[in-house]
């Protein structure tokens, strides 16, 4: 049984979420609270498997509540945002930086025909997130023991101009950490496919643009590949490369994903750009990206998979590693250093 705590100041929203989750007998809502302070207290008391929490609440907001929960009783947290507007969704991504795992649009005004679809999406999200092992995020940074430096790996030479990144569950925070370690003048075009709830891609791009030294934007049809420019795939369409331009493709989902990491990677091999690319597969559930990463490696790309210890979910990198698709398997905090040596 998956035990869920709901924190939202709207009674109607709490009722709707309970109704949506009641469609699965394996999920039990063990508590409902109306503010962040109560969410922290009840999480510590009841130890739920998952907290579903609004960003904006009285007494204590969602961001502060996430920080306190992750410092005292680390628990998987799904954030709800009342709007996918770039400014409104910024708080949800701030919560992800503090330790929340994912974000969804708050269900409201549900019509009968859509109920089963919305219920299925929420239930699937609850089941996947509740299984994730989360770590303490101490509010006061502790001194970390010094780690032994490993000698740099011998890396293949060659001319590279594209960095292609794929990620899913746990990805927003991992992508942020990776991009924050890259300079503003990074000498490659950066393309990112991140599985994210419908409507949140623009907020994700704006958040990364604000929090990193790089210029980040949503990919648009026909945009040229540019050094130092990060382009994020929009939701509901695949991101491809054709020549030196981006293509937005509305073909069917791959691995139930659109955008799909495999589609991006395979478009690069189709255009004979693998040898000019470094492909990175980060944390995520499922297998998307594994096949494409293998093809990229076969055609001359340098390929990297995030290691298990630093992943929120090891599914996608594990599938790639099992296919021998990754030339390197690295902790997240070591990937940027390798990239700096590959793009010279």
Whether the per-residue pLDDT at 246 is higher than 50: the answer is yes
What percent of the chain has pLDDT above 70? 89
Q: What is the arithmetic mean of pLDDT over 108-117?
A: 66
Q: 117 falls in which pLDDT band (50, 70, 90)?
A: confident
Whether the per-residue pLDDT at 247 is higher than 80: the answer is yes
Whether the per-residue pLDDT at 143 is higher than 60: the answer is no
Pairing of strands 302-306, 50-54: unpaired
Whether the per-residue pLDDT at 222 is higher than 90: the answer is yes
Whether the per-residue pLDDT at 144 is higher than 70: the answer is no
Whether the per-residue pLDDT at 145 is higher than 50: the answer is no
At residue 152, the pLDDT reads 44
> Which of 84-93, 151-160, 308-317 shows the highest mean pLDDT?
308-317
Q: 137 falls in which pLDDT band (50, 70, 90)?
A: low
CA gap 172, 204 in Å, rounded? 8
Q: 133 falls in which pLDDT band (50, 70, 90)?
A: confident
Between residues 99 and 137, which one has the greater pLDDT? 99
CA gap 186, 260 in Å, rounded? 25
Q: What is the arithmetic mean of pLDDT over 74-79?
A: 96
- What domains appear along the chain, each with residue ranges and CATH number? 2-129 (3.40.50.2300), 162-342 (3.40.50.180)
- Rg of the chain over Cα atoms, rounded to whole angstroms, equals 20
At residue 146, the pLDDT reads 37
Q: What is the mean pLDDT of the chain?
A: 89
Q: 148 falls in which pLDDT band (50, 70, 90)?
A: very low
CA gap 229, 160 in Å, rounded? 15
Beta-strand ranges (E) seen in 184-287 are: 189-194, 215-218, 229-232, 238-242, 245-249, 277-281
Instruction: Please give the DSSP secondary-structure letter assigned to residue 28.
Output: E
Q: 208 falls in which pLDDT band (50, 70, 90)?
A: very high
CA gap 43, 107 in Å, rounded? 22
* Cα dihedral 279→285→287→292 (10° resolution): -20
Assessment of whether the complete model's pTM goes beyond 0.85: yes
Provide the annotated active-site residues: 168, 195, 288
Nearest to 177 by CA among 312, 325, 277: 312
Least confident window among 31-40, 78-87, 177-186: 78-87
At residue 329, the pLDDT reads 97
Q: 116 falls in which pLDDT band (50, 70, 90)?
A: confident
CA gap 309, 314 in Å, rounded? 8
Are residues 65 and 7 in contact, defined by beta-carbon separation less than 8 angstroms? yes
At residue 84, the pLDDT reads 59
Q: What is the arithmetic mean of pLDDT over 25-45?
A: 97
Q: 344 falls in which pLDDT band (50, 70, 90)?
A: confident
């Amino acid at each position: 049984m998956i035990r869920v705590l709901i924190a939202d100041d709207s009674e109607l929203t709490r009722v709707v979420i309970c109704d949506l989750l009641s469609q699965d007998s394996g999920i039990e809502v063990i508590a409902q609270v109306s503010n962040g302070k109560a969410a922290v207290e009840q999480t510590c008391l009841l130890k739920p498997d998952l907290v579903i929490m609004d960003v904006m609440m009285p007494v204590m907001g969602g961001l502060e509540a996430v920080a306190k929960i992750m410092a005292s009783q680390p628990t998987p947290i799904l954030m709800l945002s009342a709007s996918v507007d770039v400014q409104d969704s910024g708080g949800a991504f701030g919560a992800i930086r503090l330790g929340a795992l994912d974000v969804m649009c708050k269900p409201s005004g549900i019509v009968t025909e859509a109920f089963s679809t919305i219920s299925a999406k929420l239930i699937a999200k609850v089941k996947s997130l509740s299984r994730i092992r989360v770590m303490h995020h101490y509010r006061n940074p502790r001194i970390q023991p010094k780690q032994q430096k490993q000698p740099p790996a011998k890396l293949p030479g060659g001319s590279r101009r594209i960095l292609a990144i794929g990620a899913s569950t746990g990805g927003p925070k991992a992508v942020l950490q990776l991009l924050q370690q890259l300079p503003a003048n990074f000498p490659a075009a950066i393309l990112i496919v991140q599985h994210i709830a419908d409507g949140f891609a623009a907020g994700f791009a704006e958040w990364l643009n604000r929090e990193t030294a790089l210029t980040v934007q949503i990919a648009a049809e026909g945009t040229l590949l540019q050094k130092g420019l990060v382009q994020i795939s929009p939701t509901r369409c695949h991101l491809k490369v054709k020549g030196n331009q981006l293509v937005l493709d509305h073909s069917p989902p791959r691995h139930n994903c659109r955008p799909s990491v495999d589609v991006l990677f395979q478009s690069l091999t189709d255009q004979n750009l693998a040898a000019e690319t470094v492909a990175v597969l980060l944390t995520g559930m499922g297998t998307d990206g594994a096949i494409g990463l293998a093809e990229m490696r076969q055609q001359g790309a340098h390929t990297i998979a995030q290691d298990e210890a630093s992943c929120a979910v090891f599914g996608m990198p594990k599938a790639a590693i099992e296919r021998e698709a990754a030339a390197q398997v690295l902790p997240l905090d070591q990937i940027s250093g390798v990239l700096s040596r590959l793009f010279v």
